[in-house]
Amino acid sequence: MWKPFATEDSAYLIKYWNNQNTIEIFLSNLKLLWIGNFTKESLSEMFEKLNPSIEVEDVASQVIQILDMIDQENTDTTIINSNRVLEMKVSSFLSQNIEYKVPVKLEFELILTEDEKFKELITIPMIQTINYLETQQKVLCSIISKKDRELEEYRLEKGVISRGDLVTEPLDLNVLKTSSDKLLLNTFQQSKSFIDHICQFHEMETPVTVLLPESLQEKSIKRKRKVYRGGTVTKYTSIYGGRPETMNIKIEQQIKTEKE
């Protein structure tokens, strides 16, 4: 998972993971991408050189622990970019105990990658993320709209609920819209071939589904009818829950009239 942080000069995204024998670090300023691959031996040499008075058993775990805190106030990060090589210097603490903090320094040299790698690790995942979130929003809005209809049906059948804190207004989809042309909203899903191409050559770890549960799918539901002494009338209440004092239509009178 990418982790955001910022220096005085720029904003960055960093991602890293600990393999069996190496730690791989990815760093991007959203324009370029740098990558570094470090063996446990090279990490131990770097750690001993910068922190000669500190002894740790598992340097790789300590490095990951410090990188996990890179976005915190007590961690200082300096980045020096020269041509294709980027130097990242990190100053932090091994212990977060206020009474006992051990200062520690790390340094990494990362190499600039080709544009295709930036596209693979940054651009495409961002497009997939937007598409995923927009699809989720459509599903959730559909569910909420169905719930609004369900609540309206309940009010017609049973009346207004007694707990005012649970009363909600119907969802207005217009409040979710924006007129800003700078945002990439409602863009990628305009072209099915575009999304198909992205999904074909860049598979997602979690597939997007637009299928609703069966209970939330459109159904033709016949309105319930209430039985009154062998006859039926549609159960009635106003939208505000008010009930007429007496039914205007009485089943007994209807039956008597029909017999006459």
Q: What is the pLDDT of residues 81-138, one digit of tens each?
A: 887 899 999 999 886 555 678 899 999 999 999 889 999 999 998 998 888 888 888 8
Residue with token string 């799918």: 217
pLDDT at 132: 86
Supply the pLDDT for residue 209: 52
Q: To the nearest whole number, what is the mean pLDDT of the chain?
A: 79
Report residue 244's pLDDT band, with 50, 70 and 90 as the boundaries. very low
Confidence (pTM): 0.70
Ranking 21-35, 84-98, 190-204 by mean pLDDT, the lowest is 190-204
pLDDT score recorded for residue 95? 67
Give, in order, the Cα–Cα distances in Å from 164 to each of 85, 169, 252: 62, 12, 38
Cα–Cα dist 210/223, whole Å: 28
Structure tokens that stand for 42 in this block: 């090279």
> What is the mean pLDDT of the segment spanning 4-24?
91
Please tell me whether residue 248 adopts helix, strand or coil conformation.
Answer: coil
CB-based contact 13:67 (threshold 8 Å): no
Instruction: Give the pLDDT band of residue 239 (cuts 50, 70, 90).
Output: very low
Position 235 scores a pLDDT of 44
Average pLDDT of span 19-46: 93
- 224 or 27: which carries more pLDDT confidence? 27
Question: What pLDDT was estimated at residue 170?
Answer: 87
User: What was the pLDDT predicted at 131?
Assistant: 87
Give Cβ neighbours of residue 178 (< 8 Å, ≥ 6 apart): 185
- Inter-residue contact 60 to 23 (CB < 8 Å): yes
Q: Which long-range contacts (CB under 8 A, 24 or more apart) does 173-182 make?
A: 173/141, 176/137, 176/141
Structural domains in the chain plus CATH codes: 3-113 (2.170.210.10), 114-161+181-216 (no CATH), 222-260 (no CATH)
Q: Look at 41-50, 61-70, 148-157, 198-207 and tell me which has the smallest mean pLDDT.
A: 198-207
Whose tokens are 């719930």? That residue is: 147
Q: Work out the percent of the chain whose per-residue pLDDT is above 90.
A: 33
Residue 254 tokens, joined:
């209807």
Give every CB contact of residue 232 below 8 A, 6+ residues apart in sequence.
Answer: 225, 226, 251
Q: What is the mean pLDDT of residues 29-55?
A: 93
Count of CB atoms situated within 10 Å of the CB of 60: 20
Q: How confident is the model at residue 5 (pLDDT cuts 50, 70, 90)?
A: very high
Is 183 a residue whose pLDDT tops 60? yes
Percentages helix, strand, coil for the chain, rounded to the nearest 5?
35, 25, 40
Residue, of 73 and 207, whose pLDDT is higher: 73
DSSP letter, residue 171: P
CA dist 153 and 146 (Å) reads 11
Q: Given this model, what pLDDT does residue 91 score? A: 94
pLDDT of residue 204: 61
Where is 86: in which H helix or E strand? strand 85-93
From edge to edge, which strands make up the β-sheet containing 11-18? 3-6, 11-18, 22-28, 33-39, 103-112, 85-93, 76-82
Model confidence band, residue 182 (pLDDT cutoffs 50, 70, 90):
confident
In which residue are the tokens 């829950």 written?
A: 241
Q: Interhelix angle for 59-68 vs 40-50, to 10°?
A: 70
